[in-house]
Structure 1
Amino acid sequence: MSPQASLLPLAAVGVPVLTAVAILVTRRLPAVRDALLVVGAVATLAVVAPLVPAVLAGEVPTTSLGQLVPGVELSLRADGMGLLFALLAAFLWVLAGSYAIGYMRGDAARNQTRFYAFYALCLSTAFGVAFAGDLFTFFIFYELLTIATYPLVTHKGDDKAIAAGRLYLGILLSGGVLVLAAILLTWANVGELAFTPGGLVGDTMGDGLTILVFALFAAGFATKSGMMPVHRWLPAAMVAPTPVSALLHAVAVVKAGVFAFGRVVGFVIGPDVLLGLGVQGWLSVVAGVTIAVASVVALRQDHLKRRLAYSTIAHLSFIVLGFSLLSPTAFEGGLLHIVNHGLLKITLFFCAGAIHIAAHKDHVSELDGIGRRMPFTMLAFGLASYGLAALPPMGGFVSKWYLTLGALDADQQVYAALIAGSGLFTAGYLFPVVYRAFFKPLSDEARAHPHGEASPLMVVPLCVTAVTGLLLGLGDLGGVYSIAADVAAAVTGGAP
């Protein structure tokens, strides 16, 4: 990979900040303010998209940010792994911006200017996480992401939202302390923090210290990725407006957590070192247990957003499991599932929010016959559910296929069976929603309160994300598969 000086990674971080400023300046002009949210998202996508050809050509567009201390060069670098995350965030922000406007208007929400400004700032920090070229730059944006998202989680301002916000900050900032300790130990013993395919640590720290550093990283990142038993903040955060829930699950906080696992496994400690130490097996066990337990808990949730939250906890652990298995195919599957899960899960949350606004219903048991009133919304929900259940030809099938093959390559048949069989759990907690919507009669209460689809500002984005999840299963949309294969090969030394 060849570093090339470029301002595009910095622009991807900066454009959302400028968007937030413009939103605050135009707060007395609601129509202009709302339009700026979408314009800023489109502009950011226009900055990120041109990076694809360069990365596929083996280049690494890089913005140098100077030295913090001798030997610690801060930078923003668009390597393949970062670009996958940034492409997902940029594409979904365009749709989430429109959706958020429709939702906040439909809910007659207060403090919309503050909400949109922090929505943009949250995306800025997500791009910083994606393009960070070293551990310290990564840590800065990783923690700023938590702080920028807090006002969104607590937006409603009631006691429940404030309590959820305290839990959110308490768990995530505690995890950040562990991550910082791991970074300082790495720098003190290696003298280098730049992400390096295959790992930067090598044999410089010794077995004991390397195991300690990996354990600190894993414990710290587990908080943000919602792994059990430090997952409680994620279901609690569902008190936030649905555009926030969608953002948290698809491209922001929890995705940053699993992305961080990929960075540490592939670019800090390195697969060869981890295989020699054998400690990654513990991470695989925790991920496997989280998948099983969260799937069972999801089956019992009647509140739709909480059911989707526990689904996210399970599916994020598929990504962590893929990274921990250390085979090229499993690592590639983990990268692909970041993208596929992001598209499909944001679709499901978009649908939940549309149901809330149009029908004022939030529980699965209330959705009998709603597919007749909201056919586009519930068809999109059905398509996304089908994809998360890993059925062809959806993108979710492709990433789960790679994860299963990767587990077999790593001679881990138990995990291969867990991954392959997990679709039954997913179908078990999502397909009943679709069945109720289309095959059960409307209740008397629903007949007495007729309604239709939510605003097109909400329905169009959820249809686009559902269809995109299908298209990703049919071909290499946007070069996603090619980039993931190149990253996995560079990290593990396997053939792309």
Structure 2
Amino acid sequence: MSVLLPLILLSSLIPGIATFFVPEERARLRNTLNLGAALVKTSLVVALLVGVSQGELYEVRVALLPGVEFLLHADAWSLMFISLSSLLWLVTTLYAIGYLAHSRQRSRFFGFFSLCVFSTAGIALSGNLITFLIFYELLTLATYPLVVHKGTPESISAGRKYLAYTLFGGTLFLAGVVWLTAVAGPIEFSATGVLAGRSDLSPTLLQGIFLLLIAGLGVKAALVPLHSWLPASMVAPAPVSALLHAVAVVKAGAFGISRVVYDVYGVEFSAALGVTTPLAIAAAITILYGSTMALFQDGLKRRLAYSTVSQVSYIALGTAIAGPIATIGGIVHLVHQGLMKITLFFCAGNLDETLGITKVSQMNGVGRRMPWTMAAFTIAALGMIGVPPWRDSCRNGTSATAPWKAVPTG
């Protein structure tokens, strides 16, 4: 049954590579290939959900080096992340086909788009830190061509900034992974935390490694002051902006932070080390800063970008607080924010392509000209601020060790 995990990855890797070789004028073939791949991936994820609910254990191990394994594993947390990414990939593919109908280099765009989703799926299914690191860096490389897709001086500049930030973050994360592996051995994700109870390791050493790991992940999660690449990247096409905010990059950072706190260190051990309080402070500062900066942005996509800076840190804050309700709320918000923010960026793309509207100051009366787009925008905006019935709902507490592990995983 574990063959299902490689199939999920291959369902976006193979079509992505094939798309690069599709002639630019063969739009129908390219669209069929990408939509078919998205549908296949979604079907495979549904099969995975059904299998896990029935008690099946999904795991793939491949030895890379002595003591170093490539490990894929499906647990409840990874199922939530990969379900979200596969569903939003399908939706974004449909949107991108129409949005880029008259653009150039569409085969290149959709090829890297699929590779980006391949990397995101790998992050979701990673069973240890080494595998997570591999896909985390692949995500950076796959996303950069999408940021610079337009080829304008502004997009090239934004791409350089994106690459500088994310490669710097990747270097910090790599240092943390190598250091931790050297002192504690191979780190496989565990519901109770791998390092919990390791009295043989220096607390100061573990605090330093935690800082490296969170700083590396905090770049993609857009924690202040590591966030400025995100607003700059809004020069990319709307489907890329949606991908960065709702499907892949910032979600990968937030997902990784939760993995480190709960599955590597263990939440109680993290609190005992005193590392959750600084993380909570950083997340709280990011929330306030992002929301405040959003108010002063006239560019619509930049306003949405600063909103993401704020919103994603609610996930990090819920994790750092370390209570079951706070953590579940953060996890639910990962899904909720993804659905709402992708809708907002789709609407922003419609306004730009149809009416040439890119600024908030230009939106007066736009609801009469594009009522359906603005109806969707309004619903998504109400959802982002938590107006009933679109607000997050999370009333049942579970174990503080890892609340998402309450779902059976075989």
Describe the superposition over 1:371-406 as per-residue Cα deviations: whole angstroms up to 9, x where unpaired: 112111111111111111112211x4326x78xx99
Measure how far apart 1:129 and its partner are: 0.6
1:298 and 2:216 are equivalent in the alignment:
no
1:18 and 2:14 are equivalent in the alignment:
yes
Measure how far apart 1:25 and its partner are: 3.3
- Aligned partner of 1:398 in structure 2 is 393
Partner letter of residue 393 of structure 2? V
- Aligned partner of 2:137 in structure 1 is 143
1:39 and 2:33 are equivalent in the alignment:
no
Contact 1:73 1:194 in 2 (8 A): no
Which is worse superposed, 93-102 or 5-14? 5-14
Alignment length (residue pairs):
405
Partner letter of residue 52 of structure 2? V
Measure how far apart 1:132 and its partner are: 0.7
Describe the superposition over 1:68-124 as per-residue Cα deviations: whole angstroms up to 9, x where unpaired: 23333221111111111100011111110010011111xx32111101111111100
Measure how far apart 1:489 and its partner are: 8.3
The structure 1 residue matched to 2:175, chosen from 171, 181, 184, is: 181
1:487 and 2:394 are equivalent in the alignment:
no
- Aligned partner of 1:383 in structure 2 is 379
What RMSD, in angstroms, separates the aligned Cα atoms of the two structures?
A: 2.0
Measure how far apart 1:18 and its partner are: 1.4
Contact 2:224 2:282 in 1 (8 A): yes
- Aligned partner of 1:466 in structure 2 is none
- Aligned partner of 1:276 in structure 2 is 272
Q: Structure 2, unaligned stretches of length 5 or more?
A: none
Contact 1:22 1:33 in 2 (8 A): no
The structure 2 residue matched to 1:85, chosen from 81, 84, 89, is: 81
- How many Å separate the matches in 1 of 2:277 and 2:404? 25
1:189-338 equivalent positions in 2, closer than 5 A: 189-202=183-196, 203=198, 204-338=200-334
Contact 1:16 1:121 in 2 (8 A): yes
- Aligned partner of 2:158 in structure 1 is 164
Measure how far apart 1:154 and its partner are: 0.3
Partner letter of residue 61 of structure 1? Y
Contact 2:279 2:320 in 1 (8 A): yes
Over 3 Å counting, the alpha-carbon distance change for 1:332 and 1:125 in structure 2 is same
Partner letter of residue 71 of structure 2? S
Q: Secondary structure, in 3 states, of the residue corresponding to 2:392?
A: helix
- Aligned partner of 1:51 in structure 2 is 48
- Aligned partner of 1:118 in structure 2 is 112
Which is worse superposed, 146-155 or 176-185? 176-185
- How many Å separate the matches in 1 of 2:340 and 2:116? 20
Over 3 Å counting, the alpha-carbon distance change for 1:14 and 1:291 in structure 2 is same
- How many Å separate the matches in 1 of 2:60 and 2:247? 23
Contact 1:328 1:488 in 2 (8 A): no
Q: Secondary structure, in 3 states, of the residue corresponding to 1:228?
A: coil
- How many Å separate the matches in 1 of 2:154 and 2:404? 45
Measure how far apart 1:334 and its partner are: 1.4
Measure how far apart 1:330 and its partner are: 1.5
Partner letter of residue 115 of structure 1? F
- How many Å separate the matches in 2 of 1:209 and 1:378? 52
Partner letter of residue 282 of structure 1? P
- Aligned partner of 1:373 in structure 2 is 369
- How many Å separate the matches in 1 of 2:407 and 2:83? 20
Partner letter of residue 298 of structure 2? D
Over 3 Å counting, the alpha-carbon distance change for 1:267 and 1:70 in structure 2 is same
Measure how far apart 1:59 and its partner are: 4.0
- Normalised to the residue count of structure 2, the TM-score between the two structures is 0.95
Contact 2:76 2:405 in 1 (8 A): yes
- Aligned partner of 2:352 in structure 1 is 356
- How many Å separate the matches in 2 of 1:211 and 1:311? 30
Which is worse superposed, 305-314 or 360-369? 360-369
- How many Å separate the matches in 1 of 2:404 and 2:266? 16
Identity %: 42
- How many Å separate the matches in 2 of 1:6 and 1:46? 16
Partner letter of residue 74 of structure 2? A
Describe the superposition over 1:32-87 as per-residue Cα deviations: whole angstroms up to 9, x where unpaired: 112211111111101111111233345441122x1123333221111111111100
- Aligned partner of 1:63 in structure 2 is 60
Measure how far apart 1:8 and its partner are: 1.5
Q: Secondary structure, in 3 states, of the residue corresponding to 1:76?
A: strand
